[in-house]
A and B are shown apart, each in its own frame.
Chain A
Amino acid sequence: MTKILPKSHKNRWFGVLAIALCLVIWEIVAVAIVKYSFILPSPTDVFTAFVELVKNGTLILDFEESMVHFAVGMGAALLVGIPIGIFMGWSRKCDAFLNPIVELLRPIPPLAWIPFAIIWFGLTLWSAGFVIFIGSVFPIIINTYSGFRSVPRIYVEAGKMLGCTKSRDLIRHIAFPAALPSVASGIRIATGVAWMCLVAAELFGVSNYGLGKNLWQYYNLHRMDCVVVYMLILGLIGLLVDMLLRYYIDHHFLKWQTKEVA
């Protein structure tokens, strides 16, 4: 993996070039062809709007509010999803019992829960958190479950021979660490889904601020330049979160990933 890096460093300039090219074409199309900022705001329009939004302070408040929604939803998904995944992965009985429920609920699109989120939690941060929770809990359950299912038997037996015989200890000291890469990649998938759910959940006015909330608000005000600012920021934060997780996963687990040396 590390060996490939220098090459892609060189090629990174192609990526920068492509983005610059896109911006130029976008600007030309917007200014010279469309000529109507409501239909297609130009990059300069967007940048001006960005500066305005930063100056009047909304953007930072939106960011904070969205992060609270995100943290509530993801936090609940971790607290609920990991134990359920562990129980299902460790015990055949739990699996037989919980699997039908999970499989029935899983295909319901998270956004279909919005009516009930509002009925149950009102227009509060908890209903946004609930929708995000629904979106992110299933990838966590599924990956934890499959991680536990594929723990090599030899690690469990080696543990038993070394005095780790109780189920609780085996889960804590053997199965969980062995399943951790799978759990971590489940969390990474979940953050992606959570981020999508966040925008939809905020559209319903659960708060005065929020990146999704104000994206919608500025659409109602016909400020499409601001809408683009929010779109780009949502994308960038999503990318950043994903990159951080991927960096953590790669670096944390690379050192014990089995590369066979004879």
Chain B
Amino acid sequence: MGNLTINGLYQSFDRDDGTHLDVLNNLHLEVHDKEFVCILGASGCGKTTLLRLIAGLDQAKSGSIVLDGEEIGGPNPKVGFVFQEYSLFPWRNVIDNVAFGLEMRGVPKEERYATAKKYLDLVSLVQFSTSFPAELSGGMRQRVAVARALALDPVLLLMDEPFGALDAQTRNMLQKELLGIWEKTQKTIIFITHSVDEAVYLADRAIVLSPHAGRICREIPITLPRPRDRTSVEFAELRRDILDLISRT
């Protein structure tokens, strides 16, 4: 299962000059089991803030986040997170990074290595098991980060602009790979991006955050059949419509 319900979420930060910055304001969102949702929005509109709240890394000022009937109160093994920045532990090699969560759970070595191998295979990086993160390219590091998050078999996978720092070609390749993983593992995915193209390629539904009010201003279902063709007319039309919507907000 992976049903997420967010109600009346409000988050603000205290600025150094004593004023408050309202980032999220009375935000409502429903995400269904096995759904792939992309959250779009300009830089600084609160996307990361929202994702960190869902992850339980921060506490909201008010509102509730409920995953499968349970309120999120802190980091939770049912939720996996892929960070915007490189977050692999540089002192562990690839397989020990992927097996980290299982190690914390007390899974015996052989068993956790077997599981880690399975997920490394999913991102086609088994042959790099004993490499260190510093030896990998940016795209490979994010793929290992995906494998690491999946190794604990979360019901919900949160991804914060995971491919934002990569070149276009690597990015397209990883998007395709991610869709394959999503279909295989049947996770609910919330994926943040500021690329409309990425959202239209990946998502069942695109959600546009408004830059100032801190709430959702548009929800656009994307029903194009997969695999989606970036060069098709429908794809281009949808992309243009969403860009229009964003520029008008």
Residues of A near any B CB (own CB < 8 A): 154-155, 157-165, 169, 173-174, 177-178, 180, 255-259, 261-262
Contacts and interface: CB of A to CB of B under 8 A. Distances in A.
Given A158-B81, A161-B75, A255-B132, A178 B104 contact: no
B134 A174 contact: no
For chain B, which range describes its interface: under 10, 10 to 19, 20 to 34, or 35 or more residues?
Answer: 20 to 34
25 contacts: A154-B85, A155-B87, A160-B57, A161-B55, A161-B75, A161-B149, A162-B77, A162-B101, A162-B149, A162-B152, A163-B104, A163-B152, A165-B74, A173-B103, A177-B89, A178-B91, A255-B132, A255-B134, A256-B90, A256-B132, A257-B134, A258-B134, A261-B137, A262-B138, A262-B167
B152 A177 contact: no
B152 to A, nearest CB: 7
B104 A169 contact: yes
Given A160-B75, A161-B80, A261 B90 contact: no
Contacts of A180: 91
A162 B132 CA distance: 19
A158 B87 contact: yes
Contact of B57 (A157, A163, A255, A256): A157
A258 B90 contact: yes
Contacts of B143: none
A163 B102 CA distance: 9
| Main SS class of interface, B | loop
Interface of B: 55, 57, 74-75, 77, 79-81, 83, 85, 87-92, 100-101, 103-105, 132-138, 148-149, 152, 167
Contacts of A257: 90, 134
A173 B133 CA distance: 17
Given A173-B104, A257-B134, A262-B137, A165 B91 contact: no
Contacts of B85: 154
Contacts of B88: 158
Contacts of A258: 90, 133-134
B128 to A, nearest CB: 13
Nearest to A161: B81
A31 to B, nearest CB: 56
Nearest to B140: A261
Nearest to A169: B104
In the A-B complex, list the 3 residue pairs whose CB atoms are closest, starting with the nearest: A162-B101, A256-B90, A160-B75
B83 A154 contact: yes
Given A157-B83, A255-B134, 5 more contacts: A161-B55, A161-B149, A163-B152, A169-B104, A255-B135
Contacts of B133: 256, 258
Given A163-B152, A165-B74, A256 B91 contact: yes
Interface centre among A154, A158, A262, by most chain B C-beta atoms within 10 angstroms, is: A158
A256 B130 CA distance: 12
B104 A164 contact: yes
Contacts of A174: 89
A178 B83 CA distance: 18
Contacts of B149: 161-162
A160 B149 CA distance: 12
Contacts of B100: 159, 162, 164, 173
Contacts of A173: 100, 103-104
Contacts of B132: 255-256
B119 to A, nearest CB: 13
A162 B82 CA distance: 11
Nearest to A154: B87
Contacts of B92: 177
Nearest to B75: A160
B75 A165 contact: yes
Contacts of B89: 155, 158, 174, 177-178
Contacts of A164: 100-101, 104
A262 to B, nearest CB: 6
A54 to B, nearest CB: 44
Contacts of B87: 154-155, 157-158
A162 B92 CA distance: 15
Contacts of A262: 137-138, 167
A91 to B, nearest CB: 19
Contacts of B91: 177-178, 180, 256
Contacts of A177: 89, 91-92
Nearest to B77: A163
A239 B167 CA distance: 47
Nearest to B131: A255
